[in-house]
Chains A and B, each alone.
Chain A
Amino acid sequence: MNSREKEEYLREYEILKKKGKPFFPYAIMKDSVMMLIVAAVMIVMSIVMGAEQGPKADPTTTTYVPRPEWYFFYLFELLRVIKPPELTPIATIGIPTICMVLLLLLPFYDRGAERIPWKRPIASVTGILVMIAMAYLTYMGAVAGSPTEIEKPTASQYEAGKLITAESGCLACHSIGENGAHGGLGPDLTHIGAKLPRQAIKRSVAVGPGIMPSFDGLGEENLNQVADYLASLD
């Protein structure tokens, strides 16, 4: 923006301002209506959804997989998309920092005088693409589900084993039905009961073949229940 364009803008703005309405009551009225709507939404959300309280924090648990607030999903999902460990810092710090710096400095590299969105296609298209990317990543983060959740229906006698399987973090590497790490480190367990006998499953869980860790620490009774549950998957 050169000084002629700045002059022109200020002059135009003065005229628009003279043609406009006083802040009070016109703008105040709209602002107040909007604030009332916001307050109503807040109240309804609070009454309908309340404020639940999870189990008490326990630093000794090893199986709890945390989920961030939904407005951090897109950052979280970025971590899952960028898999190689040497690139992790790029996903965690690099991309968000670069985005923030680009955002902060926006008025200093976008110096054109044009303000109409459809007459500055680069800015508008970039803005829309960023919005789509954030919405997509947020959506992916939301539907990924908790890694401690197995939705596949089970007969009631295997529920205990299912719970232990879920809480032991098996889904961090394996997948069961719709849940878990699809294409992750471990094989798909959806039909494991049809492929392996119960004893083999139990031994695998206890020993941890290959890169899989041993889950011997679960104890005999829990191991049996996990084996019963996995053997029932066919």
Chain B
Amino acid sequence: MKLLPTRKSKQSDAEPEANGEDSGMSARELAVHHSTHKAQDVAGWVDSRTNATGIYTAMLSRHVPKGTNWFYTLGSATMFIFAMQAITGVFLAMYYVPSITQAYGSITHLTNEVFMGEFVRGLHKWGASLMIILIFLHMGRTFFFGAYKYPRELNWIIGVVLLILTTVMGLTGYLLPFDQRSLWATVVANNITGTGPIVGPYLADFLRAGPEVGATTLSRFYSLHMMVVPGLIAALIGAHLFLVVKLGTTAPPWVRAGRPKGSRPSETVEAGVPATDGAGVTAEEALAPAEVDSPAAVADDAAEAGTDGEEVSS
């Protein structure tokens, strides 16, 4: 079915092409006209296979609830930092050599000789600190606004795992420059891991990959820092975002849907105008269920709603 509009546009395309001169179009206009249709064809081709525009619309034209404020930018800011870390990390990887004999020298070369090398390394280094700060702020907002409660429990869990993985990135990245700080901080971190009950010593052995922190440790940390953990983080950010789009961001807890106040009728009118969105729901209609909040009605509703799983219809 999706292919139909594409075919139609191709047919209509052919017409002006054949009678180009008659319709008074210049060659250039025709070319532009033609390429626009071609672009539409390409978009249609991609869309029929991916539903890209559907996803795009679902993400962008969804409503954020009333009262959403600057605190709600912390999550996207954290994601932005992750993207920056990925990009600067790729550039650093172009020069970095993960071997104990060459790692330090490659960082010296990168810092002192490569164009903008120190700048990119600085971005990556300070970006890590900023990412930790932002992820904690984002978590603080979620905690104090009670946003981890029903129906967003799973998103909280994914968020905590993302926090842990981010600190793992901080830890594994620390060894890579292979200066004194890197080495000894890693030795300490490894010893700390080793004191853990039951799995501690095994985990420490796995991370160290040998009798002491050395060549294999470095390549192990490198692959964890470069591939395993960033991959997990990217996948979990995807899941996190999917749930945000599906369930919506919370409104600040003190913002209530409210009832039209008799003393200030103008407020109802103002609120009603933007509320008339595509679905054609007026504020009065939307507010109607909230007004019949008598215990009996609620009990009926609850009985009809049935199990928990069916309630998440948004």
Contact = CB atoms under 8 A, between A and B. Distances in A.
Interface in B201-222: 212-214
Contact of B196 (A30, A93, A131): A93
Given A3-B311, A110-B149, A42 B281 contact: no
Interface string B163-191: 11001001100100111111111011100
Contacts of B178: 56-57
Contacts of A34: 70, 73-74, 76-77
Interface in A33-80: 33-35, 38-39, 41-43, 45-47, 49-51, 53-59, 61, 64-72, 79
Contact of A23 (B62, B149, B152, B257): B62
B189 to A, nearest CB: 7
Interface stretch (B13-21, B35-43, B126-134, B226-234): B126-134
B143 interface: yes
Contacts of B153: 107-108
A100 B111 CA distance: 37
B313 to A, nearest CB: 8
Contacts of A120: 146
B122 A89 contact: no
B201 to A, nearest CB: 11
A64 B180 contact: yes
Contact of B67 (A6, A16, A30, A35): A16
A49 B179 CA distance: 18
Interface residues of A, number: 83
Nearest to B78: A38
Interface in B277-314: 277, 279, 281, 283, 286-287, 289-290, 293, 298-299, 301-302, 305, 308, 311-314
Contact of B195 (A24, A69, A93, A113): A93
B5 interface: no
Contacts of B119: 46-47
A1 interface: yes
B66 A6 contact: no
A88 B195 contact: yes
Nearest to A38: B77
A104 interface: yes
A42 B123 contact: yes
Contacts of A122: none
A21 interface: yes
Contact of A17 (B63, B76, B177, B256): B63
A24 B123 CA distance: 29
B interface secondary structure, majority: helix
A7 B311 contact: yes
B129 A107 contact: no
A92 interface: yes
Contact of A35 (B76, B157, B188): B76
A28 to B, nearest CB: 7
B65 interface: yes
A111 B281 CA distance: 32
10 contacts: A10-B312, A27-B68, A28-B60, A30-B70, A34-B74, A42-B81, A54-B180, A92-B192, A107-B148, A115-B149
Interface of A: 1, 3-4, 6-24, 26-28, 30-31, 33-35, 38-39, 41-43, 45-47, 49-51, 53-59, 61, 64-72, 79, 88-89, 92-93, 97, 100, 103-104, 106-108, 110-117, 120, 123-124, 127, 131
Given A23-B63, A34-B73, 13 more contacts: A12-B290, A23-B62, A23-B64, A24-B61, A38-B134, A42-B123, A50-B118, A53-B179, A54-B181, A68-B174, A89-B200, A115-B146, A131-B140
